[in-house]
Amino acid sequence: MSRLIDGLKKLTQATPPPMGFRAARQSNAAPSMLIIAAEKIKDDGSPAKNIAGADAILLTAESETGLTAASLQKSVKSLKDVPWGVSLDASEDDTAKLVEAGSDFLVFSPGTRFAAVPQDEKTGKVLEVESSMDDGLLRAVNDLPADAILVTDSFEESGGLVWHQLMIFRHLRAFIAKPLLVPVPADISDVELNALWEAGIDGIVVNVTGTEDLKDLRQMVGKLPPRSERKRGKTDVFLPHAGTDTHLTVPPDEEEEEDE
């Protein structure tokens, strides 16, 4: 299984609190949210940056020529054991070759050909979703063979989280049961990060443009409450399944009187 997807699934697995003070301390050390660093790399195979504090790295092409398996194999050597993935829109190379190069996960849009995405369980599949999709399409996402969802339109142009966007995230969480990822600015505040956690966001994608690391962001994530403490009842809803009778049946209070 994809290491990124495995980490996301562990976040959503509710486990009973361990007994004992020492066990509780170990449980609190578990991450409450994953950090994915989005990095643009050159097509000549220049080494990708091993971003400190990132749980995974999403590689995109610097130019329109796209990424190739050959250039990726040169670039990812510097990443060592950090799982990395590729956006299919940023590559014109054969998908199978990208997987052979070691890609742990792939990010793709709804317009991507179905056959272009590997159907095996080894490679993680992250589907991009726009918040403007109607509720029927959001429900359908749960039945698709995708492992996680990336919300493409996230923060406003000003770079800050607004109330309207926070409402949208909670709306998406109510309809989508899969792990949710959202792009965020590198200078996101601890208040905004906590609001995303409360809304049920499982991972954040941060664009890295310079030599900065994500250690400060990692410390902020580490201060989030344990995952089991989130009141999931505020965001989770029960949706009717296909073929289920959704009509309400109200039993009569009393029998009809017989005609004399």
CATH number for the domain that contains residue 131: 3.20.20.70
Residue 143: CB atoms within 10 Å: 9
Number of domains in the chain: 1
Write out the two tokens for 226: 């344990």
CA angle, corner 197, sides to 196 and 198, nearest 5?
Answer: 90
Write out the two tokens for 250: 């109200």
For residue 241, is it within any domain? no
Residues 169 and 33: their CA atoms lie apart, in Å, by: 15
Domain range spanning residue 222? 3-9+29-234
For residue 22, is it within any domain? no
34 and 4 Cβ atoms separated by less than 8 Å = yes
Q: Residue 25 has what pLDDT?
A: 44
Residues 137 and 109: their CA atoms lie apart, in Å, by: 14
For residue 15, is it within any domain? no
Helix (H) or strand (E) holding 162: none
Write out the two tokens for 211: 């030599």
Which residue ranges in the chain fall short of pLDDT 70?
Answer: 12-30, 63-66, 90-93, 154, 156-158, 210-212, 227-260
Helix (H) or strand (E) holding 156: none
215 and 188 Cβ atoms separated by less than 8 Å = no
For residue 17, is it within any domain? no
For residue 258, is it within any domain? no
pTM of the model: 0.80
Task: Sort strands 148-151 and 203-208 into parallel, antiparallel or unpaired.
Answer: unpaired
For residue 82, is it within any domain? yes
Residues paired with 108 in a beta bridge? 127
Q: Residue 157 has what pLDDT?
A: 61
Residues 151 and 148: their CA atoms lie apart, in Å, by: 10
Q: Residue 125 has what pLDDT?
A: 96
Residue keyed to tokens 């919300």: 151
Residues 108 and 125: their CA atoms lie apart, in Å, by: 8
Taking CB atoms within 8 Å and a gap of at least 24, the contacts of 185-188 are 185/155, 185/159, 186/212, 186/214, 186/217, 187/159, 188/161, 188/217, 188/220
Phi and psi torsions of 86, nearest 5°: -135, 145
CA angle, corner 83, sides to 161 and 49, nearest 5?
Answer: 75
Residues 57 and 54: their CA atoms lie apart, in Å, by: 7
Determine the longest span between alpha carbons in the chain, in angstroms. Answer: 94
For residue 24, is it within any domain? no
Q: Residue 212 has what pLDDT?
A: 66
For residue 248, is it within any domain? no
Residue keyed to tokens 């589907």: 127
State whether residue 24 is helix, strand or coil. helix
